[in-house]
């Protein structure tokens, strides 16, 4: 390992621009003639539009134009789509209702876009938006997913009777029922997974530029996957063919899933730019973000877990209702199905599993993947159940888990997944040691003397990252392939540019990916640049989500580097009149092994481009591209332990320690990986303790600002104890599993298990606010 190579804690190359105010986010972009957009949004959760009058608005100062859904429809702009087909267990396809980028007839949630105002300034556009008169006939509203399925409820889409999108199952129901019938013990639980708002700190924004000279569109946007955005806008929304549409996602201020999707605003701003003849920029305010960014989670489940007399799990039965909101967002269908039910085996050897999932429409914002996406829901359900079972069975939660761990690999679960590698006991032991598990009783006794209730809880999670292979996800309904692409361009002087289809919005790719290249060729990390986020610069890409950039994105770079290495060695061998099998990289040169013959890297690069003396028949240049399609998912896993003190007088929970012991496979930059865990754990603690999206019965969002939605602040959180005990992933060239979502997946059950342990009452839902904890503690007394 060099100082900048694989495994080194290299400080980030991208930090300087962020620290000095030189970051380039979408809202920072300005182009000549640019105007500003504000959207007119529905104030009602369900209504028929009977008329839109923008006459007064158009006459207001600074207003360029006001455009609505009828014009959008007339111009042939298509519906927003969900790109993953799920079939119900009766074989029928999911019921996708129409989602217009600007609603022309019906609005289905508060915040549904109705019209766009373009003006000289944001303030003028906002004034005019308030002057657009929209007549609504109100319709009845349903926001609760269980209620929405009942007979006689308000109907959101004619395509979906009883608001049911699909009724899907996975696993062997008969085997599960037989095991439940024969069980020595059955643990039953009802599980709520609270609805969350992702809240990247940079609100969504887009700048649409239509160039009439070339009939060409440019879209700056806050996207995690600009190529996918281009594909969808081109193939489904009829904005422009791909060769006439450039999508640029410059610096993006966090995503957490919410910036995967293609929303109405980027489509409408591009269209409006052509209609008005001016570049159109829109930046979400925070209330709009709460209203319209895709939410996460929102499951209601019942679970039954069967045990034999030896406390071995014999079956798991899960029934889940998942709220998908008013419309099917881009990947909404795969989150509560293939990203959820397939993970219900957890770290345990469970012979039979059956999951039934019904997804429903409600008059709420669309719900889609949020950090973890399905896997936090599976983990929370499973790990709350394990902890509950341990209490019911009267054995240690660690021992119950230990005695049910999967111990040989590969392991085929009953729910599709084939785990390739892992050592769950190593993580459990590491976490218990770091948390001083054995000293807990003494700490609890000491806390009791101070009048505090102390509790400890654990969670053993598994997740699946890097969705793959493309053929497999295609057979499960995915509308795209889930490979990644890379291009490595060695410049004439030996500096290197890597064009990657992954997208960094905080993950530090500009550093980690450069470490990989520096390590491979022995060149300084500062001579390597990582280029991403621009469809004109990067050949193709699928973007960053599902913790895929290391395992899939970097593997594509490795493939391209392999090709570079082969060609470079051939050139070096030719120049030094040696056998190419004898050429080695050493100290920034290509050397003939065992001799003092060497060609510096920079000279090799120049030779490739001067082409004065290349092997016969070789093309000039040193630039290679590659696509990488993984052979399998990767399976990060770990054990998290949380210790809390609850004040019985106030119900306030204080996290006194939080331990994370993860298995991420090989690690390129431990500093960045630890940062990912910190952030993920903080979001998981936010879910468990603080955060919740709430609508009232009329569909008004009650949590639409940071004064109402409790984001984790610095003084809500402790410093974290993190460590890794890694088993390399056997299925990709770097042995990487992925680390982006683990923290958010593993932490909520650990925290709730700790609080319920402290207060002696297992009936507690997230978020565990002081009011709820106080009431649960009182009920236990």
Partner 1 sequence: MAKITMTVNGRQVSGVCDDRTLLVHFIRENLGLTGTHVGCDTSQCGACVIHMDGQSVKSCSILAAQAAGSSITTIEGLAQNGELHPVQAAFKAHHGLQCGFCTPGMVMTAVDMIRRHGSDLDEATVRAELEGNICRCTGYHNIVKAILAAVHETGGVRQAAE
Using CB under 8 A, which of 2, 254, 588, 733 touches partner 1?
254
Angle of CA points 64, 202, 15, to nearest 5°: 125
- Closest to partner 1 by CB, 506 or 699: 506
Q: Which residue matches tokens 């556009």?
A: 125
526 binds partner 1 (CB under 8 A): no
- Closest to partner 1 by CB, 228 or 681: 681
- Residue 478 C-beta: closest distance to partner 1, Å: 27
- Closest to partner 1 by CB, 156 or 248: 248
Query: What secondary structure does DSSP assign to 242-300, as a single string?
Result: GGGEEEE--B----TTTTTSPPHHHHHHHHHHHHHSS-EEEE--HHHHHHHS-BB--EE
121 binds partner 1 (CB under 8 A): yes
71 binds partner 1 (CB under 8 A): no
Q: Among residues 540, 180, 590, 166, which one has the least CA distance to residue 337?
A: 166
717 binds partner 1 (CB under 8 A): yes
Residues 265-294 that bind partner 1 (CB under 8 A): 283, 285-287
Using CB under 8 A, which of 25, 424, 628, 635 touches partner 1?
25
706 binds partner 1 (CB under 8 A): yes
CA-to-CA distance for 690 and 773, rounded, in angstroms?
12
Contact 45, 141 (CB under 8 A): yes
Using CB under 8 A, which of 466, 712, 746, 748 touches partner 1?
712
Rg (alpha carbons) of the chain, rounded to whole number: 27
Using CB under 8 A, which of 4, 5, 8, 12 touches partner 1?
12
Using CB under 8 A, which of 240, 468, 681, 764 touches partner 1?
681
7 binds partner 1 (CB under 8 A): no
- Residue 224 C-beta: closest distance to partner 1, Å: 11
- Which residues are paired to 354 by β-bridges? 171, 317
Contact 155, 109 (CB under 8 A): no
Q: Segment contacting partner 1 (CB under 8 A): 49-57, 249-257, 393-401, 564-572?
A: 249-257
CA-to-CA distance for 319 and 543, rounded, in angstroms?
32
Q: Which residue matches tokens 């000039």?
A: 620
The pair phi, psi for residue 265, each rounded to 5°, is: -65, -40
Whether the upstream peptide bond of residue 469 has omega within 30° of 0, thus cis, is yes
Residue ranges of alpha helices (H) inside 304-350 are none
> What H or E segment, with its residue span, contains residue 572?
helix 555-576
Q: Segment contacting partner 1 (CB under 8 A): 103-111, 229-237, 518-526, 707-715?
A: 707-715
CA-to-CA distance for 444 and 424, rounded, in angstroms?
27
CA-to-CA distance for 186 and 183, rounded, in angstroms?
7
Strand, coil or helix: what is 406? coil
- Closest to partner 1 by CB, 233 or 751: 751
Using CB under 8 A, which of 519, 662, 674, 757 touches partner 1?
674
What separation in angstroms does the CA of 193 have from each of 322, 462, 474, 693, 702? Answer: 9, 18, 28, 11, 18
Using CB under 8 A, which of 408, 438, 719, 781 touches partner 1?
719
Name the packing angle between helices 670-685 and 742-759 (round to 10°). 50
Q: Segment contacting partner 1 (CB under 8 A): 128-136, 296-304, 566-574, 709-717?
A: 709-717
**Two tokens, residue 311:** 């406390």
Residue ranges of alpha helices (H) inside 439-554 are 440-449, 470-475, 509-521
- Residue 203 C-beta: closest distance to partner 1, Å: 7
Using CB under 8 A, which of 672, 701, 752, 764 touches partner 1?
672
Binding characters for partner 1, 193-232, by CB under 8 A (x = yes): ------xxxxx-----------------------------
Our measurement of the distance from residue 57's CA atom to the centroid of its chain's CA atoms, rounded to an integer in Å, reads 39
Q: Segment contacting partner 1 (CB under 8 A): 97-105, 253-261, 419-427, 537-545?
A: 253-261
Q: Other CB atoms closer than 10 Å to residue 717's CB: what's the count?
A: 17
707 binds partner 1 (CB under 8 A): yes
28 binds partner 1 (CB under 8 A): yes
479 binds partner 1 (CB under 8 A): no
256 binds partner 1 (CB under 8 A): yes
748 binds partner 1 (CB under 8 A): no
Using CB under 8 A, which of 3, 22, 593, 763 touches partner 1?
22
- Residue 450 C-beta: closest distance to partner 1, Å: 18
With CB under 8 A as the rule, give the number of residues binding partner 1.
58
- Residue 544 C-beta: closest distance to partner 1, Å: 12
Residues in contact with partner 1 by CB under 8 A are: 11-12, 14-23, 25, 27-28, 30, 121, 123, 199-203, 251-254, 256, 283, 285-287, 505-508, 671-672, 674-675, 678-683, 705-707, 711-715, 717, 719-720, 743
């Amino acid at each position: 390992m060099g100082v900048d190579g694989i495994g080194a804690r290299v400080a980030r190359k991208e930090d300087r621009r962020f620290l000095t105010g030189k970051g380039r986010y979408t809202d920072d972009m300005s182009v000549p003639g640019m105007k500003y957009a504000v959207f007119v949004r529905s104030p009602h959760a369900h209504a028929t539009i009977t008329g839109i009058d923008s006459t007064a608005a158009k006459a207001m100062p600074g207003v360029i134009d006001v455009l609505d859904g009828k014009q959008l429809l007339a111009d042939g702009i298509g519906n927003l789509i969900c790109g993953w087909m799920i079939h119900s267990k009766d074989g029928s396809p999911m019921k996708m209702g129409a989602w217009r980028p600007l609603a022309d007839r019906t609005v289905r949630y508060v915040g549904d876009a109705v019209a766009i105002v373009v003006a000289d300034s944001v303030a003028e556009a906002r004034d005019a938006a308030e002057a657009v008169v929209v007549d609504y006939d109100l319709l009845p509203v349903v926001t609760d997913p269980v209620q929405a399925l009942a007979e006689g409820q308000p109907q959101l889409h004619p395509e979906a009777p009883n608001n049911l999108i699909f009724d899907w199952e996975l696993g062997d129901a008969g085997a599960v029922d037989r095991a439940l019938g024969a069980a020595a013990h059955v643990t039953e639980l009802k599980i709520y997974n609270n609805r969350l708002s992702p809240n990247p700190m940079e609100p969504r924004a887009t700048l649409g530029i239509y160039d009439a000279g070339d009939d060409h569109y440019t879209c700056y946007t806050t996207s995690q996957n600009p190529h996918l955005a281009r594909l969808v806008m081109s193939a489904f929304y009829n904005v422009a063919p791909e060769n006439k549409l450039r999508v640029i996602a410059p610096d993006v201020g966090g995503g957490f899933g919410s910036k995967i999707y293609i929303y109405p605003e980027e489509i409408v701003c591009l269209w409006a730019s052509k209609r008005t003849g001016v570049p159109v920029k829109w930046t979400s305010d925070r209330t709009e973000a709460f209203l319209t960014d895709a939410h996460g989670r929102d499951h209601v489940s019942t679970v039954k877990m069967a045990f034999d007399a030896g406390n071995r799990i014999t079956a798991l039965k899960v029934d889940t209702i998942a709220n998908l909101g008013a419309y099917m967002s881009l990947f909404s269908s795969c989150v509560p199905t293939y990203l959820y039910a397939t993970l219900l085996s957890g770290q345990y050897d469970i012979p039979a599993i059956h999951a039934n999932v019904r997804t429903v429409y409600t008059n709420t914002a669309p719900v889609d993947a949020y950090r973890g996406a399905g896997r936090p829901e599976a983990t929370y359900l499973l790990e709350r159940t394990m902890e509950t079972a341990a209490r019911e069975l009267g054995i240690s939660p660690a021992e119950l888990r230990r005695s049910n761990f999967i111990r040989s690999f590969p392991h085929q679960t009953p729910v599709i997944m084939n785990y390739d590698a892992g050592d769950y006991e190593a993580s459990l032991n590491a976490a218990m040691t770091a948390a001083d598990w054995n000293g807990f009783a003494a700490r609890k006794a000491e806390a009791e003397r101070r009048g505090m209730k102390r509790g400890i809880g654990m969670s053993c999670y598994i997740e699946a990252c890097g969705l793959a292979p493309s053929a497999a996800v295609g057979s499960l309904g995915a509308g795209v392939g889930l490979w990644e692409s890379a291009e490595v361009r060695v410049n004439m002087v030996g500096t290197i540019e890597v064009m990657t289809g992954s997208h960094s919005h905080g993950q530090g790719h500009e550093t980690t990916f450069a470490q990989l290249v520096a390590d491979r060729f022995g060149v300084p990390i500062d001579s390597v640049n990582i280029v991403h986020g621009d469809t004109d610069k990067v050949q193709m890409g699928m973007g960053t989500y599902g913790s895929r950039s290391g395992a899939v994105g970097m593997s594509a770079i490795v493939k391209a580097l392999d090709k570079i290495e082969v060609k470079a060695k051939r050139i070096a061998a030719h120049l030094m009149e040696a056998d190419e099998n004898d050429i080695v990289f050493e100290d920034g040169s290509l050397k003939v092994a065992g001799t003092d013959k060497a060609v510096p890297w920079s000279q090799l690069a120049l030779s490739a481009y001067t082409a004065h003396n290349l092997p016969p028949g070789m093309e000039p240049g040193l630039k290679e591209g590659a696509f990488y399609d993984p052979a399998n998912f990767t399976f990060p896993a770990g054990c998290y332990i949380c210790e809390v003190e609850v004040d019985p007088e106030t119900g306030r929970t204080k996290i006194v320690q939080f331990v994370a012991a993860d298995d991420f496979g090989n690690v390129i930059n431990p500093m960045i990986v630890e940062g990912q865990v910190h952030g993920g754990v903080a979001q998981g603690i936010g879910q468990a303790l603080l955060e919740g999206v709430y609508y009232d019965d009329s569909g008004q969002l009650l949590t639409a600002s940071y004064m109402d939605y409790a984001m984790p602040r610095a003084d809500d959180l402790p410093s974290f104890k993190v460590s890794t005990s890694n088993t390399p992933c056997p299925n990709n060239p770097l042995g990487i599993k992925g680390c982006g979502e683990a923290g958010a997946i593993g932490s909520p059950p650990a925290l709730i298990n700790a609080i319920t342990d402290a207060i002696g009452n297992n009936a507690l839902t997230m978020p565990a606010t002081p009011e709820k904890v106080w009431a649960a503690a009182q009920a236990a007394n």
